Structure 1
Amino acid sequence: MTVRDYYSLTTQGRARRLRELAWNALAAYDLDVVRMQLLSNEWNGVFRLDTRDGRKLVLRVGLPRDKGGYDPEEIRSEMMWTDALHRELGLTVPAPIRNRDGDLLTTASAAGVPEPRHCVVFTWVPGVDLADRLTEAAYAATGELMARLHMHAATWTPPPGFHIVRNDTPYHPKDPQRLLTPPYLDRFTPEQQALLRDATARVEAVQGRLWNNGQPPRVIHHDLHMWNVKLDRGRVHPIDFEDLVWGHPVQDIGLALYYIQDRSDYTNLRRAFQEGYTRHLPWPDDDDIDAFIVRRSLDFLNHFVGSDDPQEQAFFPKFMERSMERMRRLMPVFSAHTERSRK
Structure 2
Amino acid sequence: MFVEGAGSAEDLVADRAIKEYAFSRDAQWRMINLSENATYLVEDPGTGTGGILRVHREGYHDAQAIESELDWLDALHEENIVDASKVIRTADGRRIVTTEVSGRTRHAVLFETMGGLEPDEAGICANDFHTLGAVTARLHSHSKRWRKPAGFARFSWDWTNTLGEAPRWGRWQDAVGIGTNEIATLEPAVELIHRRLERYGQGPDRFGLVHADLRLANLLVDADQVNVIDFDDCGFGWFLYDFGTAVSFIEHDSALPRWQEAWLSGYRTVAELSDEDEDMLATFVMLRRMLLVAWMGSHSHSQESRTKSSSYAAGTCELATRYLDSDGSSLERTDFAR
Match of 2:97 in 1: 106
Match of 1:10 in 2: none
2:74 matched to 1:80?
Answer: no
Match of 2:335 in 1: none
Conserved 8 A contact 1:225-1:259? no
Change (3 A) 1:158 1:21: same
Residue from 318, 321, 325 that aligns with 1:328:
321
Bigger Cα displacement from structure 2, 221-230 vs 293-302: 293-302
Return the offset for 1:116: 4.1
Secondary structure in structure 2 of the residue aligned to 1:89: coil
Residue from 224, 233, 247 that aligns with 1:234:
224
Map 1:1-343 → 2, pairs under 5 A: 14=8, 18-32=10-24, 34-51=27-44, 52-65=46-59, 69-89=60-80, 91-109=82-100, 115-132=104-121, 134-169=124-159, 171=162, 175=168, 178-179=171-172, 184=174, 188-213=178-203, 215=205, 217-284=207-274, 285-305=277-297, 316-335=309-328
Bigger Cα displacement from structure 2, 311-320 vs 226-235: 311-320
Bigger Cα displacement from structure 2, 328-337 vs 34-43: 328-337
CA distance in structure 2 between the partners assigned to 1:105 and 1:234 by the alignment: 31
Return the offset for 1:115: 4.4
Return the offset for 1:104: 2.0
Change (3 A) 1:24 1:199: same
What amino acid is aligned across from residue 39 of structure 2 in structure 1? V
Identical columns (%):
22
Give me the CA root mean square deviation. 3.3
Secondary structure in structure 2 of the residue aligned to 1:121: strand
Return the offset for 1:101: 4.3
CA distance in structure 2 between the partners assigned to 1:91 and 1:308 by the alignment: 33
Secondary structure in structure 2 of the residue aligned to 1:38: strand
Secondary structure in structure 1 of the residue aligned to 2:120: helix
Q: Which runs of 5+ in 1 are unaligned?
A: 7-12, 338-343
- Give a deviation string over 1:241-273, Cα, whole Å, max 9, x none: 000111232111222134432334332222211
CA distance in structure 2 between the partners assigned to 1:207 and 1:189 by the alignment: 26
Return the offset for 1:96: 1.4
Bigger Cα displacement from structure 2, 195-204 vs 101-110: 101-110
Conserved 8 A contact 1:287-1:334? no
Return the offset for 1:332: 2.0
**For this pair of structures, how many residues does the alignment match?**
318
CA distance in structure 1 between the partners assigned to 2:267 and 2:295 by the alignment: 30
Conserved 8 A contact 1:222-1:243? yes
TM-score, length of structure 2 as denominator length: 0.81
Match of 1:340 in 2: none
Conserved 8 A contact 1:226-1:259? no
Secondary structure in structure 2 of the residue aligned to 1:103: coil
Conserved 8 A contact 1:104-1:120? yes
Q: Which runs of 5+ in 2 are unaligned?
A: 331-338
CA distance in structure 1 between the partners assigned to 2:256 and 2:175 by the alignment: 32
Change (3 A) 1:45 1:210: same
TM-score, length of structure 1 as denominator length: 0.80
Bigger Cα displacement from structure 2, 76-85 vs 323-332: 323-332
